[in-house]
Amino acid sequence: MALLRSYVNGRWHTPTVDGQPLHDAVTGEEVCTISSAGVDFAAALEHGRRVGGPALRELTFHQRAALLKTVASMLREHREELYALSARTGATKTDSMVDIDGGIGVLFSFSSKGRRELPNDTVYVDGDVEPLGKAGTFLGQHIFTPLRGVAVQINAFNFPMWGPLEKFAPAFVAGVPSLIKPASQTAYLTARMVELIIESGLLPEGSLQFVAGSAGDLLDHLTEQDLVGFTGSASTAQRLRSHPVVVNRSVRFNAEADSLNCSILGPDAKPGTTEFDLYVKQLVTEMTVKAGQKCTAIRRAFVPAELIDAVAEAASERLAKVKVGNPLAEGVRMGALASLEQREEVRRSLKGLLEAGRVVFGDPDKVELVDADAAKGAFMSPVLLRAEDADLPQPHEIEAFGPVSTLLPYTSTEHVIALAARGQGSLVGSVVTGDADFAREVVLGVAPWHGRLLVLDADDAKESTGHGSPLPMLVHGGPGRAGGGEEMGGIRGVLHHMQRTAIQASPKVLSKVTNRWVAGAERAVDGVHPFRKSLAELRIGDSVVAGPRPVTLADIEHFAEFTGDTFYAHMDEEAAKANPFFEGRVAHGYLIVSFAAGLFVSPEPGPVLANYGLENLRFLTPVNPGDELTVTLTAKQITPREANDYGEVRWDADVTNQDGDSVAKYDVLTLVAK
């Protein structure tokens, strides 16, 4: 791996110059050189739009999600090779697990969500139909469709696999091609990951491109259909966000910047409590995992003033047991920083922090190492600071992006909320307490300044993934200094890569556009019960009308006796009349649903395999003894399952009385053989 290549325009590109050398963070040896010289960025973006985009948009959400799963499985087979490269970035085995297995896990997660929460279609329907006229012939519906551009992903050095994959996964499921531009220091790991994906041939051409080296004039060629996802420093984010093309063409720009994240210890969590131990353990973990090079790491550790001595002592004891050195050596828990330049940057930031505090553990200029040379590797001791006055500005303004954290005393709940807000926006904060009232007050107080909050106590500790672990199903981002963006978040992240459009049309047109039957659109009653049709034969709008079925007082009393539901409205005439909603005894809602099922079901064995639920059930008009029920069941949405011999059918059920008034409406969910 002497010279990193880019993959653009459907082929591997070798730089036209030797480029910048990249060094092993542990030994200082040269790993490779990197340069993007000769890359035609305009052509790369156009290749994504012209080749990758159309290929992805031909696939449904489910098909794209299934491809993600195959990519994840393939990468998992190459974990050992990737782990070996990861060690050269200074990462321990645990660090590599977070980066490599975490990134692969994101692919699996979005694959699962895409198949479970999105339709097997190319359009996503957002919300309910909005009636725009009195007669029901003019309706509104919001839909999402993929943007016709490229998701440009500019990533940081600290997570060379997880960083690209957590951006790539939602873009791919959305149907938008990606161009990955990693930070140079650790780009050799990203490059190998991309090589494995491209060589596998699993993805449509143009759906994934890779640039090794500088971004050059990449942003000059963006359009209003492209997106930029950036992870890195707040200053770089500001510079990229203000690029003339980004501004003038309103390019979607999502930033996830480093932030001064905090962890708050509750006053109840005194030494000897589970919460005290959890707080100290979490603090040390966040200081040492990835050598503190995490955008989610704890930089400000808020502690009740009366407990700060105890926390400082306990944290120092744990830090003293952390072995620093070669990530491959036995017992090493903290490796090197990504580069010597990064270590010097951390030391410069430390000088500013020391204006407001003092060191209680560690030496920024000296560290005892295991199987490593301090003169060659980018090693540094974890450094824990303590400020006597938490209101001084430096801890709330300066971030040392390494194994550094500052203990800060607070005097009241109001005080710590105000201190947390001085970070001017963070990715994540944590509250460690056994006092739910304190937790609620702090959470509501600091939530506007945070993208994610972890409340840690004895109850959730065993299952908690920790302060610094973003999860694919939750948003990752934060306001203000943290960039003001959101990544992942499950389907929210997918929709970020799509355009929400309001469609105003007739029921017939809306049904055709959305592939969902809409009330007011045509129904097909062709004499064949829709339950006798396989998934391949069934069409949106296929219906059955069944009834009428009279409801008698004997039915109501039998149902009450059989189920045990003897609520007065069903059994006591006088009490029911006193209820402002009823004129006398009424039928049970679930009796109505049961009668409706008896009316519309075709009982013989056939394509319908199972009823697995009801959704959106509403009882609209009371049913009295003597009323007659008719049900209209209409195929509303058909969702084939790619990997199964069946699919899902959502049916619209409308139960009406003898006057034509709807007494109940709901969706019936069934599994139907293909």
Active site residue ranges = 256, 295
Run of H or E including 299: strand 298-304
Nearest to 625 by CA among 568, 565, 575, 551: 551
Q: How far apart are CA 417 and CA 511, in angstroms?
A: 50
Q: How far apart are CA 384 and CA 363, in angstroms?
A: 9
Longest dimension (CA), the chain: 92
- Helices 102-117, 61-76: axis angle to 10 degrees equals 160
Burial 318-339 (b: 16+ CB within 10 A, else e): bbeebbbbbbbeeebbbbbbbb
The answer to whether the beta carbons of residues 82 and 101 sit under 8 Å apart is no
The answer to whether the beta carbons of residues 68 and 39 sit under 8 Å apart is no
Q: How far apart are CA 483 and CA 359, in angstroms?
A: 30
Question: In the structure encoding, which two tokens stand for residue 158, read together?
Answer: 């600290």
Distances in Å between the Cα of 310 and the Cα atoms of 67, 263, 313, 433 are: 52, 16, 5, 16
Distances in Å between the Cα of 292 and the Cα atoms of 23, 295, 342, 372, 466 are: 20, 9, 12, 19, 14
The answer to whether the beta carbons of residues 90 and 29 sit under 8 Å apart is no
Half-sphere exposure of 515 (CA within 13 A, CB side): 14
Handedness of CA 97, 101, 103, 105 (dihedral sign): negative
Give the CA angle between residues 595, 601, 602 to the nearest 5°.
Answer: 145
The answer to whether the beta carbons of residues 90 and 327 sit under 8 Å apart is yes
Which amino acid appears at position 276 of this protein?
Answer: F
Q: How far apart are CA 299 and CA 287, in angstroms?
A: 8
The answer to whether the beta carbons of residues 516 and 125 sit under 8 Å apart is yes
The answer to whether the beta carbons of residues 108 and 72 sit under 8 Å apart is yes
Q: Find how far residue 185's CA is from the centre of its chain.
A: 26
Question: In the structure encoding, which two tokens stand for residue 69, read together?
Answer: 């799963």
Distances in Å between the Cα of 76 and the Cα atoms of 81, 111, 162, 519, 587 are: 10, 15, 13, 47, 57
Write the CB contacts of 102 (distance below 8 Å, at least 6 apart in sequence).
Answer: 159, 161, 162, 469
Distances in Å between the Cα of 55 and the Cα atoms of 50, 64, 177 are: 9, 11, 9
Cα-flanking dihedrals φ and ψ of residue 209, to 5°? -125, 160
Burial 470-484 (b: 16+ CB within 10 A, else e): bbbeebbbbbbbbbb
